[in-house]
Amino acid sequence: MSEPYFPQLIFASPSGKTPRVMIAPPRYIQGDGVLDDLGRYLSLIKAKRSAVLISKRGLQADGIRILASMKAAGIESVIAIFNGECSKEEVALHKNTLQADSVDCLIAVGGGKCIDAGKSIAYKLGVPVAVVPTLASNDAPCSALSVMYGTGGEVTDVEFFPDNPALVVVDTGVVARASERYLVAGMGDAMATWYEARVCIDNPNAMSTIGGRPTLAACAIGEVCAKTLFEEGVAACASVQSKSVSESLEKVVEANTLLSGIGFESGGLAVAHSIAQSYALIPVVHDNYLHGEMVAMGTLAQVMMESTDEANRVAQFFAAVGLPIHLGQLSLDADNQDDIKLIVEASIGNAMVHNMPMPVTADLIRSSILGAHELGLSVTSEFGDQAYRRLQES
């Protein structure tokens, strides 16, 4: 049994002088059709007998290609069906079954929860994990942590691991055929990366998720991530609408998966994710919206603390790709004092808000959320909400 791992105990210095730390996966492979070469890539980690963690639906959609590719490379495979929740129970179930199967690596194929469960199972089995995301909706694939959920779907814990996934393989053809809403949610999560990393590097007291100071490298990755989204986001959406792979889609998938993944983990989080996690506490938001959609609203509020002009630019981009920009678009009501109070209190209770360079109070959080909401309403009345409605109705 692998012991729980806490990066903060390694990186935070007892002298109080926190070092700069950057972690990242050693190999990232992305392209149209790369799934057919998965077996060859797995030779990089000397896989001979792999467990494939995949949902029933995923197995029907991509299973034949994955298994054929592994067979061609002489790698045996054991299928483990993922049941949908990244919970301690799900992880324990697979760990117990696979332990007797002497697998030498685990391949997690699917969305964020399957990937996070795969990382946790692999760590407990003491084998490397290869990640094959089938959506570009989140930044789970490259990071060395798993967000754990209770059986009711609530976040219970974050598990950290000493190693990032040994291999990340993203088939952009698979992403192009998935729902556009997932790609767009990934852009919401990815856009936060730059704004959060930037405040963390500017505030000497801020620390990244792993308990180190951000590096210039992680911050630069965050910056190119945002630039890529502003320039290519709308074209990447068009690409997914026609279910085809374009250079814009390649760039945005890399931004959502690799740049966002390294950027958030080693660059640090701040108000955008604190508020996003607080929105998730409201059942109607939790049940109907994706993580990246909540992060988009959190990002707008964070940017409102710093610059209305920049917030306006971000809101216009979000409206163009179909991300929510006002409370109504998360099924919330600005006049519902109970909900707003709960969101503000949960946000201020999250240590990440204090990565901001200015003192963050409950009043500042409230005024930023409501300011972002008002800005979103005015951008919506000017530019419309066609993209948002198309995605939500799809």
CB of 279 to Zn ion, least distance (A): 12
CB of 147 to Zn ion, least distance (A): 9
List the beta strands (DSSP E) in 162-268: 167-171
Cα gap 88→148, rounded to integer Å: 7
Cα gap 258→327, rounded to integer Å: 29
234 alpha-carbon distance from chain centroid: 20
What x-and-dash track marks residues 34-63 binding Zn ion by CB under 5 A? ------------------------------
What x-and-dash track marks residues 176-215 binding Zn ion by CB under 5 A? -------------x--------------------------
CA distances from 152 to 72, 84, 156, 331 (A): 41, 12, 10, 21
Cα gap 348→360, rounded to integer Å: 8
Instruction: Identify which of residues 189 and 250 has a Cβ nearer to Zn ion in the complex.
Output: 189
Instruction: Identify which of residues 41 and 317 has a Cβ nearer to Zn ion in the complex.
Output: 317
Q: How many helices (H) and strands (E) does the chain have?
A: 17, 8
Cα gap 324→389, rounded to integer Å: 10
CB of 269 to Zn ion, least distance (A): 8
Instruction: Identify which of residues 139 and 171 has a Cβ nearer to Zn ion in the complex.
Output: 139
CB of 260 to Zn ion, least distance (A): 8
CB of 189 to Zn ion, least distance (A): 4
Q: Could you tell me the two tokens for 61?
A: 């959609």
Taking CB positions, which residue lies at the least distance from Zn ion? 189
Kindly state whether residue 265 participates in binding Zn ion, applying the rule CB under 5 A.
no
Beta bridge pairs of residue 260: none
**Which residues are within 8 A (CB) of 46 and not within 5 positions of it... i.e. 6 or more apart?**
104
Instruction: Identify which of residues 189 and 232 has a Cβ nearer to Zn ion in the complex.
Output: 189
Instruction: Identify which of residues 12 and 352 has a Cβ nearer to Zn ion in the complex.
Output: 352
Instruction: Identify which of residues 189 and 254 has a Cβ nearer to Zn ion in the complex.
Output: 189
Size of the site for Zn ion (CB under 5 A): 1
CB of 143 to Zn ion, least distance (A): 10
Alpha-carbon Rg of the chain, whole angstroms? Answer: 20
Query: Residues interacting with Zn ion, by CB under 5 A?
Result: 189
